[in-house]
A and B are shown apart, each in its own frame.
Chain A
Amino acid sequence: MADGSRILLVEDDPALAREIVRALERDQWPVDHVASLGEAFEAVIQFPYRAILLDRRLPDGDGIGLIPAAKSRVSPPSIIFLTARDDLADRVDGLDAGADDYLVKPFALQELLARLRAACRRPGQAVRPATIEVARLSWDPATREVLSAGRAIAVPRRELALLELLVRRAGRVVQRGHLEAELYGLDVEVSANALEALVSRLRRRLEEEDSGVELRTVRGVGYMLQPC
Chain B
Amino acid sequence: MLRRTPSLALRAVLTFTSVYIAAIAVFLAVIIVTDDPDRDRNSHTGPRIALSRAAEDLVPTENGFRLPSDGGFAALASRNPAIWLIGQSGDRSFSFGPVPESVARALEKHGPLIESGRFYVPGVERPLANAVVERRRIASGPLLLAAGGVDPKTLGSGDSLGASWGEGVLVILFWIAVVGFAAMLIALPILSRALRPLAAQAASILPQEPERRLDEERAPRELLPLVRGFNAALDRLASELGRRKRFIADAAHELRTPLAVVALRVEALEDETDKQELRRGLGRLVHLVSQMLDVERLSLSGRERSLVDLAAIARDVVADLAPTAIKSGYDLSLEAPDTPVVVTGDAHAISRAITNLVGNSVAHGGGTGQIRVAVGADRTIDVTDEGPGVPAALQPRLFEPFSRGSSNAEGCGLGLHLTREIMRAHGGEVRLVPSRRGATFRLRFESPDVESRP
- Name A residues whose Cβ lies closer than 8 Å to a Cβ of B: 13, 15-16, 19-20, 22-23, 26, 84-88, 104-110, 171-175, 216, 218-222, 224, 226
Contacts and interface: CB of A to CB of B under 8 A. Distances in A.
B334 interface: yes
B148 to A, nearest CB: 108
Contact of A23 (B257, B267, B286, B290): B267
B323 A173 contact: yes
| Top 6 A-B pairs, shortest CB-CB distance | A220-B334, A219-B333, A19-B264, A106-B260, A109-B267, A106-B259
A87 B326 CA distance: 30
A193 B259 CA distance: 51
A85 B286 CA distance: 13
Contacts of A174: 319
B318 A172 contact: no
B219 interface: no
Contacts of A19: 260-261, 264-265, 268
Given A109-B264, A221-B334, 11 more contacts: A22-B264, A106-B257, A108-B267, A110-B267, A174-B319, A218-B319, A219-B335, A220-B315, A221-B315, A221-B319, A224-B322
B264 A16 contact: yes
B253 interface: yes
B53 interface: no
Contacts of A26: 268
A196 to B, nearest CB: 15
14 contacts: A16-B258, A85-B253, A106-B256, A106-B260, A107-B263, A108-B263, A108-B267, A218-B318, A218-B334, A219-B333, A221-B315, A221-B318, A221-B332, A221-B333
Interface of B is mostly: helix
B256 A220 contact: no
Contact of B257 (A13, A86, A88, A222): A13
A108 to B, nearest CB: 6
Interface string B274-285: 000000001000
A56 to B, nearest CB: 12
Contacts of B331: 219
Nearest to B294: A86
A22 B290 CA distance: 26
B263 A84 contact: no
A219 B319 CA distance: 10
Contact of A105 (B259, B282, B297, B348): B259
B326 A109 contact: no
A173 B319 contact: yes
B28 interface: no
Given A13-B261, A23-B267, A173-B318, A220 B336 contact: yes
B309 to A, nearest CB: 12
B257 A105 contact: yes
Contact of B326 (A104, A107, A226): A226
Given A220-B315, A221-B319, A221-B322, A105 B256 contact: yes
B334 A88 contact: no
B320 interface: yes
A128 B244 CA distance: 54
B259 A220 contact: no
A212 to B, nearest CB: 16
